[in-house]
Amino acid sequence: MHKGMITKTRFLFPTFAVVGCMLAVTMLVVYLPAAIAAKKPMEKAFPSSEKCKRCHLRVFEEYEASAQSRSIVTAPFRMTLERYLAKADKKDQAMCFQCHAPHIAEYPELLPRFIKEVQSKDPHMDGVGCPQCHLIHDVDAKMHPPVPTFQLGKTIFGGYDKAAENLAHQSEKLELFRDSQFCVTCHDSLPQTSQAAKDLPGWLGDWKTSETEKNGQPCQSCHMPEAVAESANGEKIRKVANHSFPGRFGKVRAEAVELDFSTSVKGKTSQVDVTIKSLVPHNLPLPHPGWSRVVVDLAIKGKNLKTVYSEQRFYQRVFGGVDGKETVLDFEAKKVLQDTLLKPEETRIEKFTFPTPKDAPSMDVVVTLTYAPVHGPKDFLKAIEQDAPLGQKDRAFQTVQIAQKKTNVLLKK
């Protein structure tokens, strides 16, 4: 009896094992290809923009020169990400990548690799590369920040109806690509996952009700201006949207504001009234990163063009952190302490009064609008400087002029 039982169990085990194995094999055969197809390696699903260069040389070269192509390679990004990761909950650690390398949504398990790539300073993968935009099929705007949803396959989405056939991909027109919502997905939300962040204002301001938007001019009309060229090497000449994404840098700047001023000399005191008319359908500047600001600078030059008076005013959003103290790290923001951003299409008047220069036959009045360099706590600025291959010469430390106007005013004795 004893023996039999043993034999029985001995026999039962292998039987189970065989049936189990067969089941497992069947399941593998049936389900595994589906699982593999749904999960291509990241390099396959989001090939490097270099792969598109072969046929879209012009677009590639424009893109390569754009800020969009540097979304995970700047020293300020590395240093801010480091500070964010040091404090963020484990479940929220992918948040910055949602916009700076949005394919994280499809490969959340590769987060450690995304972080390593950033830290390497010379990432092999793109942040916002060609496929990261051209595989977007939809946007889940209910999420905060909104999440782009991808359709991974052979089809590339874009703005063309009936694109010419080619050997690399199929093409499909999506209205989304000509719509502001496409850009707003990544260009409007405080970088926080919490619901509370929703109560803090977005970056763009009331862009939806701006004249520009109502006139049917989406973001693309200014930031991807139409050119006429080859859409792909050897294809016929047609309209192609510019991919250098001019913004803080590039041509679009000249159309940002109308700047004017009048001067009145009243004895010992003088006054300059500056009128700044924004031609832009969104806030200026946009308040992310948290240190973004535009400076209105008034300089009065007297004898020998020596500056005898100067004053600066800032257009910015100042955030308060947990302790209520000012912070330039917007992921810490709990409230807005001050908001002087130039609102969409707003006309702002700035009045400056100052002592009339003495002993000079005339004075020069110079008004300048610039994007200011990065600012913040000393250790933060030092960290950026040390991390940047060009040190103090990094773009982050440079001012960018938006507009300037000067006049010479005669002074009566």
Write out the binding residues for ligand HEC, residues 268-327 only, by CB under 6 A.
280-282, 284-286, 288-289, 292
From 94, 104, 115, 222, residue interacting with ligand HEC (rule: CB under 6 A):
222
CA–CA dist 383, 270 (Å, integer): 43
**Taking CB under 6 A as the rule, does residue 363 contact ligand HEC?**
no
**Taking CB under 6 A as the rule, does residue 47 contact ligand HEC?**
yes
User: Which is nearer to ligand HEC, 184 or 300 (by Cβ)?
Assistant: 184
From 163, 276, 318, 381, residue interacting with ligand HEC (rule: CB under 6 A):
163
CB of 366: closest distance to ligand HEC in angstroms? 18
Contact flags string 96-115 toward ligand HEC, x per CB under 6 A: x-xxx-x-------------
Q: Look-up: residue for tokens 């004249």?
A: 211
Bridge partners, residue 193, by sequence: none
**Taking CB under 6 A as the rule, does residue 164 contact ligand HEC?**
yes
CA–CA dist 13, 39 (Å, integer): 35
Amino acid identity, position 219? C
CA–CA dist 190, 367 (Å, integer): 32
Site for ligand HEC in 332-361 (CB under 6 A): none
From 207, 309, 319, 397, residue interacting with ligand HEC (rule: CB under 6 A):
207
CB of 26: closest distance to ligand HEC in angstroms? 37
From 94, 104, 125, 183, residue interacting with ligand HEC (rule: CB under 6 A):
183
CB of 225: closest distance to ligand HEC in angstroms? 9
From 94, 115, 118, 240, residue interacting with ligand HEC (rule: CB under 6 A):
240
Number of residues that bind ligand HEC (CB under 6 A): 95
**Taking CB under 6 A as the rule, does residue 397 contact ligand HEC?**
no
User: Which is nearer to ligand HEC, 190 or 300 (by Cβ)?
Assistant: 190
Bridge partners, residue 266, by sequence: 269
Taking the CA atoms of residue 142, residue 148, residue 149 and residue 152 in that order, the dihedral angle to the nearest 10 degrees is 180
Whether omega for the bond prior to residue 285 falls within 30 degrees of 0, making it cis, is: yes
Bridge partners, residue 401, by sequence: 370
**Taking CB under 6 A as the rule, does residue 372 contact ligand HEC?**
no
List, in order, residues 6 or more apart from 316 with CB less than 8 Å away: 285, 287, 292, 293, 294, 338, 339, 340, 341
Taking the CA atoms of residue 284, residue 288, residue 289 and residue 293 in that order, the dihedral angle to the nearest 10 degrees is 20
**Taking CB under 6 A as the rule, does residue 205 contact ligand HEC?**
no
Nearest by Cα to 186 from 85, 45, 71, 78: 71
User: Which is nearer to ligand HEC, 133 or 318 (by Cβ)?
Assistant: 133
CA–CA dist 177, 303 (Å, integer): 56
Amino acid identity, position 49? S
**Taking CB under 6 A as the rule, does residue 193 contact ligand HEC?**
no
CB of 34: closest distance to ligand HEC in angstroms? 24
